[in-house]
Amino acid sequence: MFAFLPVVLALFSGITAFAAPAASFNPNELSKRLAEGAEVGIEVVPTLTDDKLRELAFWENGVLQGYMIEKPDDGNADTLDFYFTDAKGNVIDVDAEADDNALEKRALSWITIGIKLASIIRRWGPRVWTYFYCVGIGAVSRCADTFLRCATMGQAPWTCPAGLLCVGSVANKCR
């Protein structure tokens, strides 16, 4: 058993070295973020609207907080946009609320995760939905910071080494 340990350590160190520079990928920070997410109890559930648009329902500690809903197609199949609603269906103007600090009064955590996911999906288009559904929306929401960091460096979620590590082995079958 101990003979395999150096091999496993060598493989893992190679993966983390390839994943990102040490300054941008810290396994301890990732573990801390995952633990904080579990404590908050946010669950992201993918559904479809009556109009067959994709939406994500955000539940926090068993209570529906709101939705991130895909806007109807504007004729350009490569672009996607979203809007947010609270649990009652009232549209949330994320930009306006960011200016007047009203987001701090809401369940900031679910909106923050939604904004990050929307940014990633806008950047990479419809293919990212398929990938996110394959690896699991819950895993993606836990790893949203990692995927967003990769997106800013020009890496798609399915090619983001740190994101692949974050979501786990299921990512291998979803590329």
Whether 159 shows a pLDDT value over 90: the answer reads yes
Residue 71 has a pLDDT of 86
pLDDT score of 51 more than 50 = yes
What is the predicted pLDDT for the residue at 155?
Answer: 92
pLDDT of residue 87: 92
Per-residue pLDDT at 113 exceeds 90: no
Tokens for 161, please give them: 């080494």
The arithmetic mean of pLDDT across residues 21-46, rounded, is: 52
Q: Is the pTM of this model over 0.85?
A: no
> Given this model, what pLDDT does residue 164 score?
92
Query: What are the boundaries of each domain within the chain?
Result: 33-174
- Residue-wise pLDDT for 53-89, tens only, equals 888 898 888 899 999 998 876 666 566 788 899 999 9
